[in-house]
Amino acid sequence: MPAGLRARCAEARAIVRANTPVNGEYRLLTLDAPAEVLDCHPGQFFQLLCPEPEGEHPYLRRPMSIYGYDAEAGRLQFLYKVAGAGTRGLATLVPGDALNVLGPLGQGFTMEEGWRNLMLVARGVGLATLAPLARMAQQEGRRLTAVCSARRADLAMSVDLFRSFGAEVIVVHDEDGSSSPEALEALIRARIAAGGVDAFYTCGSSRLLRLLQTLGAEYGIPGEVAMEQQMACGIGMCQACVRPFREGDRRVQRRVCREGPVFPMAEAIL
């Protein structure tokens, strides 16, 4: 097994504590979970055995990024958008219902010692994947700037959570044009010029990843990306989530569920 790979995961029965709307598009699922599945790390995910909504039959488990976890409280949280049969099934859960979960899975985020000033840039549900990173940054004594992008300002995710962990939050959105590539590039360049960025983190948006890769290469700023990919087993056996990455001068194939979902930003191929 390559160095750094985490092999420990468990299948467990969790109990729904709450399943509530966050805004017009997203819901927050909070579970009471046993200790064996709460040895989590920011950037990891779970495979959820979703209930069957009426007239639909989701066959495979659904991969879901960890939004929050607390081993002492026995709490596990997922932020999700109702978009298909699996998430429609999740939306039917009410307090007291049981949910079968498998995890934690995959490789999470890292923070090198020299990365003191961190910049997180993400959009939509990608912000859910990055939410535990704010807690990790606070625990590690790092300064975090979170650039939260959305279609509208009221749809920006995790803003209050980021602030609760001491992050500076900048909300950009489509309605006023502040989320355009040009506006974001100017914002990030200004922060770099002020000496405020040692590393980037992102998830989900190819447009944002491409921008950060360009700026990272220009200024020599490293970073990490949590990749989104269709999965089946979630443990590396089925090879369904294989995609190409750069490794020096080579092009290599890696499993997003096993070697990822977090990868060095510069290695991702769009």
Q: Output b/e per residue, 115-145; b: 16+ Cβ within 10 A.
A: bebbbbbbbbbbbbbbbbbbbbbeeeebbbb
Single pTM value for the model? 0.92
Q: What integer is the mean pLDDT of 109-124?
A: 94
Q: What is the share, in percent, of the chain residues with pLDDT greater than 70?
A: 97
Q: At what angle do helices 206-219 and 181-193 cross, to 10 degrees?
A: 30
Q: 231 labelled as ligand-binding?
A: no
Q: 257 labelled as ligand-binding?
A: yes
pLDDT for position 3: 40
CATH architecture of 10-105: Beta Barrel (2.40)
pLDDT for position 83: 87
Q: 87 labelled as ligand-binding?
A: yes
Q: 63 labelled as ligand-binding?
A: yes
Q: 241 labelled as ligand-binding?
A: yes
Q: 136 labelled as ligand-binding?
A: no
Task: Find, among 226, 239, 9, the residue nearest to 102 by Cα.
Answer: 9
Model confidence at 5, in pLDDT bands (50, 70, 90)? very low
pLDDT score of 66 more than 90? yes
Model confidence at 53, in pLDDT bands (50, 70, 90)? confident
Q: 65 labelled as ligand-binding?
A: yes
Q: 238 labelled as ligand-binding?
A: yes
User: Are the C-beta atoms of residues 242 and 253 closer than 8 Å to each other?
Assistant: yes
pLDDT one-digit tens code per residue, 25-41: 789 999 999 999 999 99
pLDDT for position 7: 52
| Domain 117-267: CATH class, spelled out | alpha beta
What are the residue boundaries of the structural domains of the chain, listed by start? 10-105, 117-267
pLDDT score of 127 more than 90? no
